[in-house]
Amino acid sequence: DAGVTQSPTHLIKTRGQHVTLRCSPISGHKSVSWYQQVLGQGPQFIFQYYEKEERGRGNFPDRFSARQFPNYSSELNVNALLLGDSALYLCASSHLVSQASYEQYFGPGTRLTVT
Amino acid sequence: EDQVTQSPEALRLQEGESSSLNCSYTVSGLRGLFWYRQDPGKGPEFLFTLYSAGEEKEKERLKATLTKKESFLHITAPKPEDSATYLCAVLSTDSWGKLQFGAGTQVVVTP
């Protein structure tokens, strides 16, 4: 089975631009979470979507938004990019049907560089 | 607020030299504690979930244990391929999907 996929792999943007990152969850998983990881730190939670509804939001500004589509894939949008947005953006999917399904499986990430 | 602290920050081991990584956590109610392995530039790879104090999980040379305030990841007779950053995360009962991560322990195993 295919794991979590993310696109693009790498991205270079200029300050003030916007960016869209995409994620496809593991087949059968209905929950997608987004994380930001800067070098030397653990991932920081941005959003969780389950059944196309936002179920959690981390401490990120309104420049960050996301959505989930009927096929459970997801997009993360970041507007008015700042240098500090440079990071590895990770998508994780989980089944969320029972206790055993809280495990999150991560994709390879999108490396965003803002210049 | 949920907090996760991992120690040490970095660990250098000789091949075959067993050691333990620590993850201390503060959470209002624990839904689960998760261990991940992360290689440079890649996404975290799921290793274990622990749900209640006293629980243990094993996978090859790795063994994870859980108490009410901390978790340990024991690496027995490590090999160079065990070199990676090991991340600990907690999921609170207040959330379905917000993992709170520690900063990780970078492990280097030399031949």
* Residue-by-residue pLDDT tens, chain A, 115 positions: 689 999 999 999 999 999 999 999 999 899 999 999 999 999 999 999 998 999 999 999 999 999 999 999 999 999 999 999 999 999 999 987 655 578 999 999 999 999 9
Contact B96 A31 (CB under 8 A): yes
Q: What pLDDT does A1 receive?
A: 64
Please report the pLDDT score of residue B63 as a whole number.
98
Tokens of B47: 């290793």
Q: How far is B29 from chain A (nearest CA, A)?
A: 14
Nearest chain A Cα distance for residue B78, angstroms: 23
Please report how many Cα atoms fall inside a 13 Å half-sphere around the Cα of residue B53, on the Cβ side.
6
> How many Å apart are CA A91 and CA A26, to the nearest integer?
11
Q: Please state, in angstroms and rounded to a whole number, the distance separating the CA atoms of residues A37 and B42.
A: 11
pLDDT tens column, B35-48 = 999 999 999 999 99
pLDDT given at position A100: 58
Asked if B102 and A42 come within 8 Å (Cβ–Cβ), the reply is: yes
The pair of structure tokens assigned to A104 is 């999150």
Report residue B97's pLDDT band, with 50, 70 and 90 as the boundaries. Answer: confident
* Share of residues in chain B with pLDDT > 70 (%): 100
Interface residues on B facing A, Cβ-Cβ cutoff 8 A? 4, 31-32, 34, 36, 41-46, 49, 51, 87, 89, 91, 95-104
Residue B99 to residue A35, Cβ atoms within 8 A: yes
Q: Is the per-residue pLDDT at B82 higher than 80?
A: yes
Length, in residues, of chain B:
111
Name the DSSP letter for residue A25: P
Q: Can you give the pLDDT at residue A19?
A: 98
Is A43 within 8 Å of B101 when comparing Cβ atoms?
yes
Cα A40 from Cα B9, distance rounded (Å): 10
Q: How sure is the predictor about B5, in pLDDT bands with cuts at 50, 70 and 90?
A: very high
One-letter amino acid at A28 equals G
